């Protein structure tokens, strides 16, 4: 399941984890929907509209990704 993420989806996870704004393209909307359904991100009621779940953080951490959460 997690291994099925594309490089683009993994990059999107990093973007969400760093609280960077997303330019919503149709491709990114599909990727976000995939990440939501797989439990890597969840909707938030603020800005940004998405945040990483524990599963998303673990996925990136297992791959050595570090996030700038300043």
CATH number for the domain harbouring residue 17: 1.10.10.10
Residue 70 confidence (pLDDT): 43
Q: Judge whether 70 lies within some domain.
A: no
The pLDDT tens digits for 19-67 are 776 777 888 889 999 999 999 999 988 878 889 999 998 998 888 766 5
Q: Which of 5, 23, 20 is nearest to 59 (CA)?
A: 5
Per-residue burial over 10-32, b = 16 or more CB atoms within 10 Å of its CB, e = otherwise: bebbbbbbeeeeeeeeeeeeebb
Question: Residue 36 has what pLDDT?
Answer: 94
Domain ranges, residue 40: 2-62
How many other β-carbons are positioned within 10 Å of the β-carbon of residue 63? 11
Helical packing angle, 54-62 and 7-17, nearest 10°: 120
Tokens of 48: 């940004």
Domain annotation covers residue 67: no
The verdict on pTM exceeding 0.85 is: no
């Amino acid at each position: 399941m997690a291994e099925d993420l594309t490089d683009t989806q993994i990059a999107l996870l990093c973007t969400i984890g760093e609280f960077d704004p997303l330019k919503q393209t149709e491709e990114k909307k599909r990727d976000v929907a995939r990440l939501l359904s797989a439990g890597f991100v969840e909707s938030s009621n603020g800005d940004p509209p998405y945040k990483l779940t524990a599963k998303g953080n673990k996925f990136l951490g297992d791959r050595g990704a570090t996030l700038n959460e300043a």
